[in-house]
Amino acid sequence: MPQPVDPRILGVTVAGGAIGVLARALVLDPVTDPTAVPWVTLGINVVGSLILGVVVGWLDDRRPVLRSFLGTGIMGGFTTYSAFAVATALWVTTPWLAAGLAAASVIAGVIGAIVGLFIGRRIADRPGEVEYPEDAE
């Protein structure tokens, strides 16, 4: 049976998502060269992965409302898999470049998240702890 959704968590997640989408739009708005958009999107996703790692490492399973607002909300709205997928798909005429962009996005995003977790755990003074998926709430 699915667990009921906490209206506070839902509300802060939606509000955070709106802030994250606005932040992404503000970063992308000044970009006038269409060929630069995929690279800026890559940067957004890597920075977002890093910051999400910091949030998860710092808050861990404490402060679920703040974690939902900052992590799922703001960073979920700021980063964008769909824009990355479309940018990659638009480069089908240059398959090696498209594959390189896709690989760079995934690899750099994972590295950013790992570094962010390390930083967040240092902030929380929990440097050696690992949160396994089955333990996460």
CB of 39 closer than 8 Å to CB of 27: no
Query: 57: which residues sit within 8 A by CB, 6+ positions away?
Result: 116, 117, 118, 119, 120, 121, 122, 123, 124, 126
Q: Alpha-carbon Rg of the chain, whole angstroms?
A: 16
**What gap in Å lies between CA 99 and CA 75, rounded to an integer?**
25
Most distant CA atoms of the chain, gap in Å: 49
- Annotated binding-site residue? 13: no
Tokens of 105: 């996005």
- Annotated binding-site residue? 94: no
Residues at the binding site are 76, 79
Binding residues for Na(+): 76, 79
